[in-house]
Chain A
Amino acid sequence: MHSLFDPSSPQARAVAGLWWWMLAVGGTVWLIVIVAMLWAAITRRQRRLSSDLVRLDDTAHVRTERVVTIASGITVAILIAFLAYDFTVGHALAQHPLRALTIDVTGHQWWWQVLYEDPDPSRQLVTANEIHVPVGVPIQFKLRAADVIHSFWAPSLNGKKDLIPGYTTTLWFQADTAGRYRGQCAEFCGLQHAKMAFYIVAEPKPKFAAWLAAASQAPASPSDPHLVYGQRVFLSAGCATCHTIAGTQARATVGPDLTHLGSRETLAAGTLANTRENLLRWIVDPGLWKPGVHMPAVPLSPPQQEALADYLESMK
């Protein structure tokens, strides 16, 4: 769900209401203007270009003057009504809740880093591209950019807010119904602007709490030798140079955090569905799916690739 037409938060619903109202009024105005124009053009039409000018008629002129003045007055009235409605909605949206779950989102070329704030720094949870939120709770996002300007936008939940280097911006909403909401970067940010999506997964509070607890746990060390081999590939073949997996020595923050990658539904910022086959394809040549992506193709043999993919998918 990613559309203004499917609002799922009080914020998006208010804007959708504003939109439908503006559409109705604006459409009516357009219709009246066009009908007036066509009526004049058709009923008063003459077929042949004549050199005769129209005789100026004072009464008609005065009457028309009155009509034009009234039409202009109505325009002003409509605009004032627009303005008042917009201010009301805008003001309501601008009020930040006092208590909210705070999530830091940092935009990178071309993925999203997500951090769940916690007063205890060791309990802060870092993940990427998939943001779980509880239903019915106001969520505040603190938005930052690591490189260029991005824009955080999940149409079903709220309008967008830019992530600008040197600034921290904020946005908040409260999801009403459980569901997966697609969002996408809305500010042109380079080669892969088109493939910089994210998902907001709204869940009932208990389910969210369970997810948070699970996600905060480092995945268990693998015991299956195949998976152990996969982990060794991850740690020594170059993956760990950029990625983090909690509970291992991989602690780099250049690329997305891959802890619990197996539990995510998409790969590469919403580019591919998260299946083992797709993960393999992605590892073999990321540039094929996202030309220009900063992740390199790591030279691995097929058994190494398979073990690596199985290891990553095993971390649910």
Chain B
Amino acid sequence: MGPSLERNIARTLLITVAIAAVACEREQRNLGQSQSAAPSAFVADVDLQPGPTFISDTSEGPFDDNAYNTAEGQALFEEMNCSGCHAHGGGAMGPALMDDQWIYGSLPNQIFASIAQGRPNGMPAWKYRLNNKQIWELVAYVRSLSGLTPKGARPAREDHMMVIPAPNQTPNAKPKNSSLPSASMFP
């Protein structure tokens, strides 16, 4: 068994190295903090703009295929009391987030704009409370609720009462109400 054993070990090692070279984006833990945002001013200036808005700065996000950042977004969603209006994504005072209807667009940068700048009828502008990285994390979680992010990166159930189906069991979805190209065509 000597030489063939050695050959087999060599083969296994080769495969391992090959896979290691394609390290897994899903499992990355981005532990560094947001550094790029400019100092904030203290005058609330909600841009009241209908329709989709594009944010061109995508240096820190989106985190669609990163499980860790999506989970951080999940935690922020609770901590920032998003459920107060969006009711765990099911919708109440604010629109539902787990359906396929998107008033201001379903793309990561559109949702980023909605969170950062706020929207009419009560959505606050979060850019004065959260840094860009946190907003991108929320974007990833919000998109996971309706099955827009890769399945492997979506959160499973939380350690709370089950009020919505866990995002990892939500079917992959295509958003309606959007003439824009599908999310997969964007970074």
Contacts and interface: CB of A to CB of B under 8 A. Distances in A.
Interface string B30-50: 011111011110100000000
Nearest to B36: A299
Contact of A296 (B33, B40, B159): B33
Interface stretch (B14-22, B51-59, B125-133): B125-133
Nearest to A286: B33
A285 interface: yes
Nearest to A284: B33
A299 B38 contact: yes
B31 A287 contact: yes
B80 interface: yes
B40 A300 contact: yes
B31 A296 contact: no
B29 interface: yes
B40 A237 contact: yes
A42 B37 CA distance: 74
A254 B77 CA distance: 12
A236 interface: yes
Contacts of A242: 79
B42 A299 contact: no
Interface in B97-146: 128-131, 133-134
Contacts of B31: 191, 287, 291-292
A241 interface: yes
A38 interface: no
Interface residues of B, number: 22
B96 interface: no
The B interface is mostly helix, strand or loop, or mixed, namely: loop
Interface in A145-185: 147, 165
A296 B128 contact: no
B75 interface: yes
B32 A298 contact: no
> Looking at chain A, what size class is its interface with the partner chain?
20 to 34
B42 to A, nearest CB: 5
B42 A232 contact: yes
A299 B33 CA distance: 10
B33 A285 contact: yes
A294 B38 CA distance: 21
Q: Is the interface of A mostly helix, strand, loop or mixed?
A: loop
B39 A296 contact: no
Contacts of A299: 34, 37-40, 131
A299 B39 CA distance: 5
B33 A287 contact: yes
Nearest to B80: A241
A167 to B, nearest CB: 13
Interface in A183-199: 191
Contacts of A292: 29, 31
B29 A297 contact: no
A292 B42 CA distance: 28
A297 B39 contact: no
A111 to B, nearest CB: 14
A297 B131 contact: yes
Contacts of B39: 299-301, 304
Between A232, A242, A287, the greatest number of chain B beta carbons within 10 A of the residue's beta carbon is seen for A287
Contacts of A294: 72, 75
Contacts of A26: none
Nearest to B68: A292
Given A242-B79, A301-B39, A296 B29 contact: no
Given A191-B29, A296-B133, A299-B40, 7 more contacts: A237-B42, A241-B129, A287-B32, A291-B31, A296-B33, A297-B131, A300-B39
Interface of B: 29, 31-35, 37-40, 42, 72, 75, 79-80, 128-131, 133-134, 159
Task: Give the 10 A-B CB pairs with smallest separation, nearest first.
Answer: A297-B33, A301-B39, A287-B33, A291-B31, A299-B37, A254-B79, A238-B129, A292-B31, A241-B129, A296-B131
11 contacts: A232-B42, A237-B40, A238-B128, A238-B131, A241-B130, A287-B31, A296-B33, A297-B34, A299-B39, A299-B131, A301-B39
